Amino acid sequence: MENKGVDFTKLQGATLIATFFSLWLAVYFEHAVENLLAYILILSFGMLHGANDIKLLQVEAKKKSKPYDFFRILAYYVLFVLSVAGLFYILPGVALGLFILFSAYHFGEQHWISKINGNKLFLIFFYTAYGLVILFLLFAAHHTEVSDIIFDIIGFYIDNAYFRIILGISAFIFVTLYLIKYKQSKINIFLELFYLLVFFIIFNTASLLWAFAIFFILWHAIPSLADQITYLYGDLSKKHFVKYVRSSLIYWLASVITLVILFFFIDGSSEGFIPFLFSFLAAITFPHVLVISGLNKS
């Protein structure tokens, strides 16, 4: 699934318009409104784009004429999710670090897979470095809030200087690897720099949650949905979007209902709520990253 059906550049016009509209909302609305919109988008499009992994694995097996046991795959998937959730309680620091690295790789892969080629090791570093640049631009812009969240998860604060150091190292690695592949890539460097400037402005204007939602939904989840729909059904259309939603609905509802139940049964002001919420979201992210990465390599 290497973005062959959908070139992200075809979506960039609508994405940029939606991004600037979202930025306008950040200027004129209070953080409470931004956060409400962010929750709605994350729980809808955000979770939806990762809710069809089982179907993707089924179609991949069919295309390769491999045996496919639905219940066995589902059991492994659920077990993996529970294992990741457990890791956040046993080794929260390790789990948090892995979650950031997995997310960074996933964001980078989605954005760059149709634009650059290279061997497996090169692409791992390239995708991850780019994703870390995005994440730590966000973390540095909201370092106080991010440090508070990290403290709730691992028990100590991270100074903003460390965010900036990691941002600098990631940017250096990304630029170095880009220069190695400059002549062989399909990259419009000025356009990519413009995107980074847009992200910088958004991250430093909107609230933490709204800034993340703008990037996550508009620049990752929606393009990923387009790629998945094209992979499953051959092209992107309203009809195929509806089919995608129907096939993923039960998994999406299960995730959202579980999250809502936990919200009502766990005191939101207690120390354990934020780490639990974070581990829940991370737990459903890990297997999704592995599924998409595996399909991209096939």
86-125 pLDDT, tens digit per residue, is: 888 889 899 999 999 999 999 999 999 888 888 899 999 9
| Nearest partner of 293 among 43, 137, 45, 60, judged by Cα | 60
- Contact criterion met (CB below 8 Å) for 153 and 88: yes
Is it the case that residue 58 has pLDDT exceeding 70? Answer: yes
Q: Rg of the chain over CA atoms, in angstroms?
A: 19
pLDDT digits (tens, 9 = 90+) for 200-239: 999 999 999 899 999 999 999 999 999 999 999 988 889 9
In the predicted structure, residue 264 carries a pLDDT above the cut 80: no
pLDDT tens per residue across span 60-87: 888 777 777 788 888 888 898 888 888 8
Tokens of 125: 């570093």
Average pLDDT taken over every residue of the chain: 86
pLDDT the model gives residue 276:
64
The closest alpha carbon to 290, from 71, 130, 118, 76, belongs to 76
Question: Average pLDDT, stretch 119-139?
Answer: 96
Check whether 241 has a pLDDT greater than 50: yes
Question: Between the ranges 198-202, 250-254, 285-289, where is the mean pLDDT highest?
Answer: 198-202
CA distances from 34 to 16, 17, 51 (A): 18, 18, 24
Amino acid at 167: L
pTM above threshold 0.85: yes
What pLDDT does 5 receive? 44
Give the pLDDT score at 25.
Answer: 87
Q: Where in the chain are the domains?
A: 8-297
Coil, strand or helix: which one is 36? helix
pLDDT in tens, 154-209: 888 999 999 999 999 999 999 999 988 877 666 788 888 999 999 999 999 999 98
The residue written with tokens 């989605």 in the block is: 110
pLDDT digits (tens, 9 = 90+) for 5-53: 455 556 777 888 999 999 888 888 888 888 889 889 988 999 898 888 8
pLDDT of the residue at 128: 97
Q: Is 287 helix (H, G, I), strand (E, B) or coil?
A: helix
